[in-house]
Amino acid sequence: MSVRIAWERRGEGLPLVLIHGLGYARWGWEPVVDALAEHFEVLLFDNRGIGESDAPPGPYTAAEMAGDVFRVLDEAGVVRAHVLGTSLGGMIAQEVALSAPERVERVVLICTTPGGSHAAPMPSQTVRLMTEATALEPLVALRRFVENALAPEAPDELVERILAHRIRTAQPPDAWLAQAAAGQAFDAWDRLPKIGAPTLVLHGEEDVVVDPANADLLVTRIPGARVETFPNCGHLFFWEQPARFVQVVKEFLE
């Protein structure tokens, strides 16, 4: 079944494709996309199951969602690109780098995991929230999830800004579960040593969605990879420290 993926292009330069995570459409790159587009040809898109892209019946897999990335690259006429993914998008980025290394220049993995039994498990704070959310009003639960993805000191206006976007692009429950299934089933542990592209791993030190210990695990498995952390930042640290994020990514990719 053909799946339509909505995408757009910003800027000029070496191609850079951005892959977002569970529950976030391409608006999720808002704080950094314009600055990145000053240096790169940025391709951003809505994953299947959210935004303007199709939402076929699930469950999805990271490999299927990596196929969507290649579809975007093909439609954009891009043969080879830098690949940057966050959270579930970081898992998809790993699949992209493993399945078609000839199309990948460099890789940036953000607040993500190698998956499987070797990965550090989801922090208890988020596990509790996912359990409690079923008994909350949907809007209350959504706000709690946004707050949970940021550091405790994040300003209220940042929470409101992200929440407004999430309300505007709210997913049907089936589509959210279909995306979530891709993350739950993902396991690249044994394959990670095959990633040959230079790789940078970034993580917020106060991330309670994906345990920061996973950053170190990725670095131990991917040849030549290095890690850089962002103190006082949560899962969405590129919303909290966008200028530093852009500088770190730019220096690595250039």
Task: Say if 1 falls within a structural domain.
Answer: no
Task: Say if 2 falls within a structural domain.
Answer: no
Mean pLDDT in consecutive groups of 10 residues from the start of the chain, 254 residues: 94 97 97 98 98 96 98 98 98 98 98 97 96 92 96 96 95 95 98 98 98 98 98 98 98 96
Given this model, what pLDDT does residue 225 score? 98
Cβ atoms < 10 Å from Cβ of 215: 26
Cα–Cα dist 185/163, whole Å = 27
Task: Say if 73 falls within a structural domain.
Answer: yes
Count of the separate structural domains present in the chain: 1
Given this model, what pLDDT does residue 2 score? 86
Average pLDDT of the residues of the chain? 97
- 151 residue type, one letter: A
Task: Say if 160 falls within a structural domain.
Answer: yes
Per-residue pLDDT tens over the stretch 95-116: 999 999 999 999 999 999 999 9
Task: Say if 109 falls within a structural domain.
Answer: yes
Given this model, what pLDDT does residue 47 score? 98
Burial 43-52 (b: 16+ CB within 10 A, else e): bbbbbbbbbe
Does the predicted TM-score (pTM) go above 0.95?
yes
Cα–Cα dist 102/191, whole Å = 16
Task: Give SS3 for 197.
Answer: coil
Q: Residue 97's domain spans which residues? A: 7-253
Cβ atoms < 10 Å from Cβ of 26: 23
Sheet holding 7-10, edge to edge: 7-10, 40-45, 14-19, 81-86, 104-110, 199-204, 226-230
Q: State the CATH number of the domain containing residue 209.
A: 3.40.50.1820
Block residue for tokens 């991330």 = 207
Cα–Cα dist 13/20, whole Å = 21
Torsion of CA 123, 147, 25, 185, to 10 degrees: 10
